[in-house]
Amino acid sequence: MPIMLHVDELKPGLCLAQAIYQGEQRLICGGQKLEQWHIDALRRRFPTLVVRVLDPILDGMAEFEDDTQNVEVATTITSRMSRLMSSVQAKIGARTSLDGSDLTGLQAAIKEVMDYLVAHPVTAAVLMRSGGTTGYLQEHAANVMYLSLLVGNAIRDYVYHERARTTRSRTLAVRYGLNLTPLALGCLFHDLGMLEFEDLLYTDAPLTPEQFQRIRQHPLTGVNLLPKETDAVVKTVVRTHHENMNGTGYPAGLAGDKLHVFSRIIRLADAYDAGTSDRVYRQAKTPARVLWELTCGPNRHLYDPLIARILSGMVQPFPIGAKIRLNCGRYAVVVRHNRRHPFRPTVIIAFDEEGRRLKKKQLEPPFSLVDHEEVRLVEFAGQDLTFLNTGPQPPPALGESPASSDSGVYEALHAMTAETTETNLFSMVYP
């Protein structure tokens, strides 16, 4: 299994484990032995790039979890959904709303995707980023759908399992359960009401008060763009995808048990994708940071805690092969995920304090961080991880802007929010 190195750590002679793409354009093939000019070009063009390189010695020391299928499935589904979302956008642009025949076609396409997912189960969610070559709303809808379906599948499987375990009757249709089609459609449609504001997603210009008010209504605007025969659950989740568990969301301020389970799933998938996306006005946060904020951060009360836990077990904070600095100063490489304790994977210490690769005879077997509480993760890909070493954070005081509220699609509104008493209302997507 390859290890992941930052572009600044690349050296001539290392062999790429995977091709490097920009959007759908392949820049360098997998298997390519890197030369200095490759490295210089990559550093110039992608200063934050992390690539996978082959490491036969580590491969012989540890049985790395294979995530090839996870990557393939995510790429297949999200690119397909992204194209589907493009066609939805084009139809809305031409006609201002969808009709029944559009709905039938979309349902058929979604069924194919769901069947594909059942036939190709994944063990961890991996989101592929297009590097800005795809429209934000298309890629966002595709990612939200993919994550939501994975979480929905996990919940459905649990329900099946419990039914089979607890019922005596073998004639009961134990596979009868949650129909995930409305969840998938809800994800695809959830930000239709944002289409008229799409230009604003690519600028850091402040919004006018009128734009702000209309954006707050985008869940309702989106519902009005749907065909009248759309399933009631789909309409519900589009309308409530920005509501929070503690009643601080919008547009209606619904709370807790008033929220459909699909709305709670989308709320989390939406926040995760927004937090980990690069925007013109904000650099993406790492998956580790976002997962920690959703499950342990001061704004965790906005989300369903059980679904947040499921999501953090499916979306791994560190990819297999990630090189992470430990509190002892040395660097470890992630060998295996830990679903129950996502921030405590199995690792092998493979680099010294200076970042030099340890010799084969210096390597010790991999170990689970769960069994070594004294070992702490402190840095990954240049980003500080010491927040992981703190417990759950208390919620922000009333009226105080949450520390992490400056993320998400609406961050472009900062200039305006600073002048209003409704600052938190702009943290609409993330947290």
Which is closer to Fe ion, CB of 191 or CB of 243?
A: 191
Give the pairing type, strands 323-326 and 377-380.
antiparallel
Q: Which stretch binds Fe ion (CB under 5 A): 18-26, 54-62, 189-197, 364-372?
A: 189-197
Which is closer to Fe ion, CB of 67 or CB of 191?
A: 191
Would you give the binding string for Fe ion spanning residues 139-178, x where CB under 5 A is met?
A: ----------------------------------------
Based on the shown chain and the rule CB under 5 A, indicate whether residue 304 belongs to the binding site for Fe ion: no
Q: How far is the CB of 266 from Fe ion (least distance, A)?
A: 8
Q: How far is the CB of 270 from Fe ion (least distance, A)?
A: 4
Q: How far is the CB of 237 from Fe ion (least distance, A)?
A: 11
Whether the CB-CB separation of 156 and 307 falls below 8 Å is answered with no
Q: How far is the CB of 138 from Fe ion (least distance, A)?
A: 12
Based on the shown chain and the rule CB under 5 A, indicate whether residue 270 belongs to the binding site for Fe ion: yes
Q: How many residues does the chain have?
A: 431
Q: Which stretch binds Fe ion (CB under 5 A): 6-14, 27-35, 149-157, 265-273?
A: 265-273
Give the pairing type, strands 377-380 and 20-22.
unpaired
Q: Which stretch binds Fe ion (CB under 5 A): 154-162, 264-272, 372-380, 411-419?
A: 264-272
The radius of gyration of the chain's CA atoms, rounded to the nearest angstrom, is 22
Which is closer to Fe ion, CB of 249 or CB of 345?
A: 249
> Which of 46, 406, 400, 428 shows the shortest CA–CA distance to 204?
406
Give the pairing type, strands 367-368 and 346-351.
antiparallel
Supply 281's token pair.
Answer: 């006005």
Which is closer to Fe ion, CB of 270 or CB of 293?
A: 270
Number of residues near Fe ion (by CB under 5 A): 2
Supply 225's token pair.
Answer: 């763009």
Which is closer to Fe ion, CB of 67 or CB of 270?
A: 270
Q: Which stretch binds Fe ion (CB under 5 A): 20-28, 168-176, 268-276, 417-425?
A: 268-276
Q: How far is the CB of 92 from Fe ion (least distance, A)?
A: 15
Q: What are the C-alpha distances in Å from 148 to residues 105, 186, 187, 265?
A: 21, 10, 8, 6
Which is closer to Fe ion, CB of 333 or CB of 428?
A: 428
AA letter at 259: L
Whether the CB-CB separation of 241 and 219 falls below 8 Å is answered with yes
Q: Which stretch binds Fe ion (CB under 5 A): 178-186, 262-270, 340-348, 379-387?
A: 262-270
- Burial of residue 377 (number of CB atoms within 10 Å: 0-12, 13-18, 19+): buried
Q: How far is the CB of 129 from Fe ion (least distance, A)?
A: 16
- Burial of residue 76 (number of CB atoms within 10 Å: 0-12, 13-18, 19+): middle
Supply 346's token pair.
Answer: 């199995």
Based on the shown chain and the rule CB under 5 A, indicate whether residue 191 belongs to the binding site for Fe ion: yes
Spatial separation of the C-alpha atoms in residues 127 and 131, rounded to whole Å = 12
Q: How far is the CB of 127 from Fe ion (least distance, A)?
A: 14
Residues that bind Fe ion (CB under 5 A): 191, 270
